[in-house]
Amino acid sequence: MSRKSLRSLVRRILLEQASGKHLCLDGGFVPVESQECYDDICKRIEDARETRNLCSMQSDARDHYNGVLKVLRRKQRKAKKFIDSLDN
């Protein structure tokens, strides 16, 4: 990854955190409390789970993906909670 693309990625992540937006896999931003956000997080969880399962047990890579999954599941619960509140 080039320095320019890394800077761009960091800038996008900072914007996401500051503005309550979620950066989707396609590069677009959506509100954190939206169905689009929830669907994107579910796709990311599925992808991270499959990638983690390809790693050998007790490897650094597996630990990394377990950490990523923990954060994604936390985001998923937050988005699900908001979506459920809209249904009521």
Specify the DSSP element, H or E, that contains 30: strand 29-31
- d(C-alpha 22, C-alpha 12), whole Å: 10
pTM of the model: 0.73
Per-residue pLDDT tens digits for 2-36? 888 877 777 777 666 656 788 888 988 888 888 99
Enumerate the β-bridge partners of residue 29: 23
Q: What are the φ/ψ torsions at residue 57 (nearest 5 degrees)?
A: -60, 145
**Residue whose C-alpha is closest to residue 49's, from 30, 64, 29, 69:** 69
Per-residue pLDDT tens digits for 38-74? 999 999 999 999 999 999 999 999 999 999 999 999 9
> CB–CB of 69/49 below 8 Å?
yes
